[in-house]
Amino acid sequence: MATYAEMQQVFDDIRSDFRYDHELNGCLNCGICTATCPSAQFYDYSPREIVQLLWTENVEQVYDAMQEKIWACAQCMTCAARCPFKNSPGGLVAIMREVAIKHEMQSAKDVLRPFGRVMLKLITTGNQLSPDMIQPDHFPDWGPNIQKVDGDLRILRKAIPMKTLQTTDTAWEISLKTSVEMYTIWEMTGVLKSLELMDENLFDVIEDFIEEKREEYEEWLEEQEED
Amino acid sequence: MQDTVLIVGAGPAGLSAAAQVAGVGYKAVLVEKEDVLGGAPIISGYARLVPSGEWAKDAIGRMVKRVEDDANVAIHKGTKVTELNGEPGKFTAKLSNGKSVKAGAVVLATGFTHFDSVNKPEWGFGTFPDVVTTTQVEQMVTAGKIACPSDGRTPERVAILLCVGSRDRQIGREWCSKICCTVSTNLAMEIKELSPKTQVFVYYMDIRTFGLYEDRFYWKSQEEFRTKFIKARIAEVTAAPDGRLLLKGEDTLVKRPIVIPFDMVVHAVGMDPNMDNPEIAEVFGVSLENHGFIERGEHYTNTCGTTRPGIYSCGAAYGPETIDDSISQGMAAGARAIADLHGLTRKAG
């Protein structure tokens, strides 16, 4: 159990986020956010409750909500589109999630663990999903329409006018330069730092991979100069 | 000596200003863009007025008759002011009917425009025929029958949604329209009187039945007419397979999302600035405040004044206003305009 001082620190980190005053103007307690929230239909989650806890500076309950509730939000932002005060409950949840990661909360680790594979695939290939993954057997929930993707995938993909999309084992052709630039962005915006806090092993694997790619890029640059 | 006050708009405020000017022996020229006098209560067919309970056509009709019968009031219907030149004491206005008016002072009683509910598409107005506005229900009450527009059946369950076009930053309406809470509680009672088996539910963010309206309307609608008040802003209005309307909301006191069936949904529409205000500001050379209503010159010693000397305003032109207060302000603006004429007379004399 966290001490009050720790919970206060968590709250202060949320409140001092540069987006906070933009996302929270006050609250009329009208409930339109919760009424329109798809997650509230299925989970013990209410955007109005999140807004109220933050607005009334309920430090303990804010901390409590970060243990489970905030992870039920699907970030669809319908709440933000409806709120008559133009609050963004979904935006506040985004801030709370980032602070949960910063504080290495177990709730964040539990929720994010299944996404490790996605992250690895994304960083190493630049894609989450590739055309050759879409096999009829793998998507029974798609129903009979899945047959429409049956056929010679290579030829089907050649029919796409964009040359970079004529691939089968990645969604599109990834430029090495773009990848290396993305790594720099992730580094500078704290994405990789967040990853390190959440899953050190995954972070090590990804960092090794990034290092390799950067070397590859340097070599490519040198080759260009030689030519 | 200039003895005429030009009054623009013949709703409760303008009619009152004209009567005030004529009543103390000066001349009023009343210019109204519509073909009938009486303003919103007459043109939109309001039923019984708050708080008197008198029918609008009788109450406002009396105000209309008072100016029509007064030889000191000249009336131009279906007419707009197209140009105004001059200064306090000697204005000249050109009218769209080709005439021109010389006046010492001007009173803008140009009122408001009802919020157009199609600007909140998620609440179903324009999509479902049984989603109506308070104005339409006023007309039903005036006609003596509450019925669903889709098939004429008497509704078993009616929902009134407050703050439609008010208190809503999403659509740039950051004001409270002041009258809708009381009007809605009044309508809830009128619906119940005409159709005792109909249940009426009011969905609200806050109830603002200010002053003496608290017990006479808010409490009475509960105690005597069993109106149910639910603190929830509705997210969407959709239709069930059987054609009834479904409201999606959160009962904020019970803290759960709810979906409730209704036969008729009523938008308690707010008061927008008069849609002609940009034109009015241009023609009369007055400023609008940031919501789009006419800007007051100064609150305490020039209460009726606009930002241009010699031009006064009153009623809903200044912001959402009740009929009673519009009438009082019309009298005040009329009197203030006369003071200009009188002051100039004294100076000249």
Is A34 an interface residue toward B (CB < 8 Å)? yes
Closest CA to B326 of B17, B114, B106: B17
In percent, how much of chain A has pLDDT > 70?
Answer: 98
Place of tokens 């109506």: B132
Q: How far apart are CA B118 and CA B237, in angstroms?
A: 13
Place of tokens 């009396």: B62
User: What is the overall mean pLDDT for chain A?
Assistant: 92
Q: How far apart are CA B141 and CA B165, in angstroms?
A: 23
Q: Give the long-range contacts of residues B245-249, CB within 8 A, separation 24 or more.
A: B245/B124, B245/B128, B245/B130, B245/B131, B245/B159, B247/B159, B247/B203, B248/A35, B248/A36, B249/A31, B249/A32, B249/A35, B249/B203
Q: Which chain A residues are Cβ-neighbours of B175 within 8 angstroms?
A: none
DSSP β-ladder status, B27-31 and B100-103: unpaired
pLDDT of residue A149: 64
- pLDDT tens-digit series, residues A135-149: 777 777 777 776 666
**Contact between B112 and B325 (Cβ < 8 Å):** no
- Report pTM: 0.86
Helix A4-15 vs helix A89-102: crossing angle, to nearest 10: 130
Asked if B206's CB is within 8 angstroms of A84's CB, the reply is no
- pLDDT tens-digit series, residues A80-103: 999 999 999 999 999 999 999 999
Which of B122, B162, B170 best tests the A interface by mutation, with the highest count of A CBs <10 A? B170
Structural domain boundaries in chain B: 4-111+274-348, 117-271
- pLDDT tens-digit series, residues A159-203: 999 988 999 888 888 889 999 999 999 999 999 999 999 999 999
Q: Which residues contact B190 (CB under 8 A, 6 or more apart)?
A: B47, B48, B141
Q: Which chain B residues are Cβ-neighbours of A37 within 8 angstroms?
A: 257
Half-sphere exposure of B169 (CA within 13 A, CB side): 14
Predicted-complex ipTM score: 0.83
In percent, how much of chain A has pLDDT > 90?
Answer: 73
Asked if B206's CB is within 8 angstroms of A31's CB, the reply is no
Same fold, B4-111+274-348 and B117-271: yes
User: What is the overall mean pLDDT for chain B?
Assistant: 95
B253 falls in which pLDDT band (50, 70, 90)?
A: confident
Fold classification of B117-271 is FAD/NAD(P)-binding domain (3.50.50)
Closest CA to B201 of B216, B191, B214: B191
Q: Which chain A residues are Cβ-neighbours of B232 within 8 angstroms?
A: 30-32, 35
Give the minimum alpha-carbon distance from B40 to chain A in angstroms, rounded to a whole number: 27
Give the minimum alpha-carbon distance from A142 to chain B in angstroms, rounded to a whole number: 26
- The answer to whether residue B220 scores a pLDDT higher than 80 is yes
Taking CA–CA distances from B173, the nearest residue in chain A reads A84
pLDDT of residue B349: 43
Is A32 an interface residue toward B (CB < 8 Å)? yes
In percent, how much of chain B has pLDDT > 70?
Answer: 98
Strands (DSSP E) found in B205-297: 228-231, 236-239, 245-251, 256-262, 264-269, 271-273
Query: b or e along B125-135 (b: 16 or more beta carbons within 10 Å of the residue's beta carbon)?
Result: beebebbbbbb
Kindly write down the DSSP assignment for every residue of B19-78, as one continuous string: HHHHHTT-EEEEE-SSSSSS-HHHHTT--BPTTT--BHHHHHHHHHHHHHT-TTEEEE-S
Q: How far apart are CA B75 and CA B37, in angstroms?
A: 9
- Both structure tokens of A157: 């993909």
Asked if A46's CB is within 8 angstroms of B255's CB, the reply is yes
B347 falls in which pLDDT band (50, 70, 90)?
A: low
Asked if A84's CB is within 8 angstroms of B205's CB, the reply is yes
- The answer to whether residue B274 scores a pLDDT higher than 50 is yes
- Please indicate whether residue B93 or residue A144 has the higher confidence score (pLDDT): B93
Question: What is the rounded average pLDDT of the residues B180-193?
Answer: 98
Please count the other Cβ atoms lying within 10 Å of the Cβ belonging to residue B45: 17
Closest CA to B311 of B85, B137, B108: B108
- The answer to whether residue A133 scores a pLDDT higher than 90 is no
- Both structure tokens of B223: 């105690």
Taking CA–CA distances from B123, the nearest residue in chain A reads A82
Place of tokens 């010699």: B310
Query: b or e along B65-88 (b: 16 or more beta carbons within 10 Å of the residue's beta carbon)?
Result: ebbeebebbbbbeebbbeebeeeb
Give the minimum alpha-carbon distance from A38 to chain B in angstroms, rounded to a whole number: 10
Q: What does CATH list as the number for B4-111+274-348?
A: 3.50.50.60
What number of C-beta contacts closer than 8 Å exist between A and B?
Answer: 69
Closest CA to B317 of B280, B285, B282: B280
**Contact between A202 and A120 (Cβ < 8 Å):** yes
Asked if B167's CB is within 8 angstroms of A28's CB, the reply is yes
Structural domains present in chain A:
4-103 (1.10.1060.10), 113-226 (no CATH)
Task: Give the DSSP H/E element, type plus range, for residue B85.
Answer: strand B81-87
- pLDDT tens-digit series, residues B24-76: 999 999 999 999 999 999 999 999 999 999 999 999 999 999 999 999 999 99
- The answer to whether residue A37 scores a pLDDT higher than 80 is yes
- The answer to whether residue A29 scores a pLDDT higher than 50 is yes
Pick from A28, A33, A49: which is nearest to B205 by CB? A28
In percent, how much of chain B has pLDDT > 90?
Answer: 92
Asked if B255's CB is within 8 angstroms of A35's CB, the reply is no
Question: What is the rounded average pLDDT of the residues B84-109?
Answer: 97
Lowest-pLDDT choice from A93-107, A112-126, A182-196, B78-92: A112-126
Q: Which chain B residues are Cβ-neighbours of A72 within 8 angstroms?
A: none
